[in-house]
């Protein structure tokens, strides 16, 4: 054994002497690199440095073995974007206003950690793995590189629109390889997030616990990143912070995943800090995400923004104590999506108070799993007062609430991630015990069961369960949304629309219900009725670009081009870069140019189509529209090229196929024209009207002459 150890030591000394591994160097605080690692949906008890019960995580354990592990760190929100905003701004959502994954954008009035470090000469790079952290939500500020190149659509073999850990880490390593001076690198890994589908060999090893398999996979991939820090000789001059944005319930308290409740299963997070001069230790004090920003500032010796809410962890890192802080937390997903009671609370002096219609109080020193609610035995007045003080202190800080964002693309992408998106908060003035999340949990569980039944190919059973849920709670917006999609996927359009109509009937003053029904009517070709419903919806709330766009479509299809243009322009004013909206207004300008014979309107159409394609190069309809505009301008070659691109992108798209038949015949290329005529016949099949068939057969005869 001794001989083996001496041999290993000799190999290490030779490697260092001959430059195989650069020696570990120490840096002054001003030259220290910063590596922030956030792992989505990570429970501390799935790291073996916290608990060895489930899975071994040797790479993260090694980081903890040479750093400081915080045993009781808490997130302020059990959801991705708000939680990362808390970390990177050092503020809770009470101040910054980002409290959901859907419509919030970080206000430019707040200083991000990246901005603070960039001002001090740091190169800054971020590498994120899923859409909730897309650059459009504002956390990209201060980063030289913000790499959010995750798939926009579900790819072959993928259950989720995400970038796997190995690819995100590879992108980060490529950037780090170019760095010559000090740097700040943020790496976000999504993999433990549901659905749990680790790659092999972890899928086989953890077939009964795939969540732990995801964590084991992430640990192994992180080894590549941490090894690079060592091989570059950066360990002695790099501050490494590893945390989770939130946890995962895994059935605890009746919740399967996260965002509904705020028990410790979803707001207790790992926090490990390793860096120059730090000795291995474990800290039992309660700390939180907003403490990270001021800690980085203190370690690097740079000034802290005055607005920061957190308290530096530096005393703990040096083996000292720190004054205990009150930790604020919230879970507002059910409130913002369904109008149920909001959930907020505080952790203070070992007690956790949850403010809701049925309040809860837990002694975390004796009952960290929160199994015994002691609210009835305690005087809750002091906790209510303290929560009110925390809220007042936060909301009185300078700054503004998060900007509200609502667009079609955001909504569509979040649905691919498993989020059901209400277009605007469904809150109300007061809440009773019937609105408490604990009382409503059985309905949420039935909703999850209904989703599983649909995935298992049992739509009838899924629909019946959803009908039961709606009968029990007529304001459950998410249930209506699910039921509409179940019926529509089965071709039961009338039944699907009646679901949304019932929702509006039961909730006539709630924008989400009314706008959702109106948009669905327009998509199903009920333009007159859809316009009437959308006019009502926009009287309730007028900042929804998707609703304005749908209203524009409804009036266009009814022949009212003036109103259509007005409403398309309103949609673009709210979301100028949306591909669909630009495509629609481009198409409208083409039609207007034909009526008015105005070449200026064709030029406008051209610009809108180009903007649409720049935003989404896969949008076949935009290429078809661009081709049409070129054709009317006499640019036949450009028209043909764009029609062919449209067909390449969507082989079942009939309009460009028909247009290509006409264009090639006009060119005198009867062979190609005949090819597209026959292709059009195949595409349309029995759906072709008698007039269409007569027209295409006439073209075929001309091709054969």
Neighbours of 80 (CB within 10 A): 26
Write the pLDDT tens digit of every residue in 470-525.
Answer: 999 998 988 999 999 999 999 999 999 999 999 999 999 888 899 999 999 999 99
Select the more confidently predicted residue: 472 or 156.
Answer: 472
Fold of 2-324: Alkaline Phosphatase, subunit A (3.40.720)
Write the pLDDT tens digit of every residue in 390-399.
Answer: 999 987 665 5
Question: CB neighbours of 538 closer than 8 A, spacing ≥ 6?
Answer: 515, 544, 547, 548, 551
Location of structure tokens 């990570």: 42
pLDDT at 120 exceeding the cut of 60: yes
pLDDT at 697 exceeding the cut of 50: yes
Domain definitions of the chain by residue range:
2-324
- pTM comes to 0.79
pLDDT value of position 247? 98
pLDDT at 682 exceeding the cut of 50: yes
Q: Could you write out the three-class secondary structure of 508-529?
A: CCCHHHHHHHHHHHHHCCCHHH
Question: Of the ranges 134-148, 375-389, 402-416, 662-676, which one carries the lowest mean pLDDT score?
Answer: 402-416
Helix, strand and coil content of the chain, in percent to the nearest 5, comes to 55, 10, 35
In order of 275, 607, 668, the CA distances from 630 in angstroms are 61, 11, 19
* Inter-residue contact 291 to 92 (CB < 8 Å): no
Q: Hey, which of 161-165, 243-247, 536-540 has the most confident mean pLDDT? A: 243-247
- What is the mean pLDDT of the segment spanning 337-358? 95
pLDDT value of position 203? 96
- Sign of the dihedral through C-alpha 604, 607, 611, 616: positive
How many whole angstroms from its chain centre is CA 309?
Answer: 25
* Inter-residue contact 246 to 86 (CB < 8 Å): no
pLDDT value of position 26? 47
pLDDT value of position 28? 64
Question: CB neighbours of 80 closer than 8 A, spacing ≥ 6?
Answer: 40, 101, 130, 132, 133, 245, 246
Question: CB neighbours of 321 closer than 8 A, spacing ≥ 6?
Answer: 285, 315
* Inter-residue contact 676 to 658 (CB < 8 Å): yes
Q: Binning pLDDT at 50, 70 and 90, where does residue 563 land? A: very high
* Inter-residue contact 573 to 611 (CB < 8 Å): no
pLDDT value of position 574? 86
- What is the mean pLDDT of the segment spanning 556-584? 93
DSSP-H helix ranges across 541-653: 545-557, 561-574, 579-596, 599-615, 620-632, 636-649
Q: What are phi and psi of 595, to 5 degrees?
A: -75, -40
Write the pLDDT tens digit of every residue in 524-534.
Answer: 999 999 999 99
423, 259, 440, 249: which is closest to 341 by C-alpha? 440
Angstrom distance (rounded) from CA 153 to CA 597: 40
Q: Report the chain's mean pLDDT, rounded to a whole number.
A: 89
Write the pLDDT tens digit of every residue in 61-114.
Answer: 999 999 999 999 999 999 999 999 999 999 999 999 998 886 678 888 899 999
Q: Burial level of 159, CB count in 10 A (0-12/13-18/19+)?
A: exposed
């Amino acid at each position: 054994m001794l001989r083996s150890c001496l041999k290993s030591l000799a190999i290490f000394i030779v490697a260092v002497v001959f430059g195989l591994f650069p020696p570990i160097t120490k840096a002054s605080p001003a030259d220290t690199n910063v590596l922030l690692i956030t792992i989505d949906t990570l429970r501390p008890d799935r790291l073996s440095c916290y608990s060895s019960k489930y899975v071994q995580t040797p790479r993260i354990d090694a980081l903890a073995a040479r750093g400081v592990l915080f045993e009781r760190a808490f997130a302020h929100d059990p959801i991705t974007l708000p939680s990362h905003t808390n970390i990177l701004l050092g503020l809770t959502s009470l101040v910054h206003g980002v409290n959901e994954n859907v419509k919030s954008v970080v206000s430019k009035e707040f200083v991000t950690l990246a901005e603070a470090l960039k001002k001090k000469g740091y190169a800054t790079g971020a590498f994120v793995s899923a859409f909730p952290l897309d650059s459009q939500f504002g956390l990209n500020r201060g980063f030289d590189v913000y790499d959010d190149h995750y798939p926009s659509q579900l790819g072959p073999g993928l259950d989720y629109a995400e970038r796997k850990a190995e690819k995100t880490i590879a992108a980060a390593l490529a950037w780090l390889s170019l760095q010559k001076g000090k740097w700040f690198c943020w790496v976000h890994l999504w993999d433990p997030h549901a659905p749990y589908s680790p790659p092999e060999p972890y899928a086989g090893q953890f077939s009964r616990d795939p969540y732990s398999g995801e964590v084991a996979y992430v640990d192994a991939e992180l080894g590549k990143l941490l090894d690079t820090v060592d091989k570059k000789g950066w360990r002695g001059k790099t501050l490494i912070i590893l945390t989770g944005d939130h946890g995962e319930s895994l059935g605890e308290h009746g919740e399967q995943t996260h965002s509904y409740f705020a028990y410790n299963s979803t707001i207790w997070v790992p926090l490990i800090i390793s860096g120059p001069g730090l000795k291995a230790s474990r800290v039992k004090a309660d700390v939180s995400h907003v403490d990270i920003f001021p800690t980085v500032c203190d370690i690097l010796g740079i000034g802290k923004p005055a607005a920061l809410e957190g308290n530096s962890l530096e005393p703990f890192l040096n083996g000292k104590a720190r004054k205990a802080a009150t930790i604020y937390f919230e879970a507002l997903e059910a409130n913002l999506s369904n109008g149920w009671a909001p959930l907020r609370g505080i952790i203070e002096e070992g007690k956790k108070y949850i403010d809701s219609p049925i309040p809860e109080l837990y002694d975390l020193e004796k009952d960290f799993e929160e199994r015994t609610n002691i609210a009835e035995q305690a005087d809750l007045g002091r906790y209510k007062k303290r929560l009110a003080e925390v809220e007042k202190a936060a909301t009185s800080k300078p700054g503004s609430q998060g900007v509200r964002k609502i667009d079609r693309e955001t909504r569509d992408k979040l649905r691919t991630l498993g989020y059901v998106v209400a277009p605007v908060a469904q809150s109300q003035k007061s809440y009773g015990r019937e609105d408490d999340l604990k009382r409503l949990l059985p309905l949420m569980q039935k909703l999850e069961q209904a989703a599983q039944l649909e995935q298992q190919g049992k739509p009838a059973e899924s629909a019946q369960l959803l009908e039961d849920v709606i009968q029990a709670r007529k304001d459950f917006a998410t249930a209506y949304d699910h039921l509409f999609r179940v019926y529509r996927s089965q071709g039961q359009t009338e039944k699907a629309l009646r679901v949304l109509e019932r929702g509006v009937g039961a909730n006539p003053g709630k924008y989400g219900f009314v706008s959702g029904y109106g948009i669905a009517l327009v998509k199903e070709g009920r333009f007159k009725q859809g316009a009437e419903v959308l006019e009502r919806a926009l009287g309730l709330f007028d900042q929804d670009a998707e609703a304005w766009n749908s209203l524009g479509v409804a009036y266009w299809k009814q022949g009212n081009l003036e109103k259509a243009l007005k409403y398309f322009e309103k949609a673009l004013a709210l979301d100028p870069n949306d591909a669909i909206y630009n495509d629609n207004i481009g198409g409208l300008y083409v039609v207007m140019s034909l009526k008015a014979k105005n070449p200026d309107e064709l030029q406008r159409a051209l610009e809108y189509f180009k903007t649409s394609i720049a935003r989404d190069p896969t949008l076949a309809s935009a290429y078809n529209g661009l081709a049409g505009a070129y054709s009317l301008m006499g640019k036949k070659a450009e028209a043909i090229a764009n029609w062919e691109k449209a067909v390449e992108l969507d082989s079942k798209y009939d309009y460009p196929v028909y247009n290509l038949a006409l264009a090639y015949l006009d060119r005198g290329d009867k062979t190609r024209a005949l090819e597209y005529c026959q292709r059009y016949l195949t595409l349309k099949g029995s759906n072709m009207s008698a007039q269409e068939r007569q027209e295409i057969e006439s073209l075929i005869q001309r091709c054969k002459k």
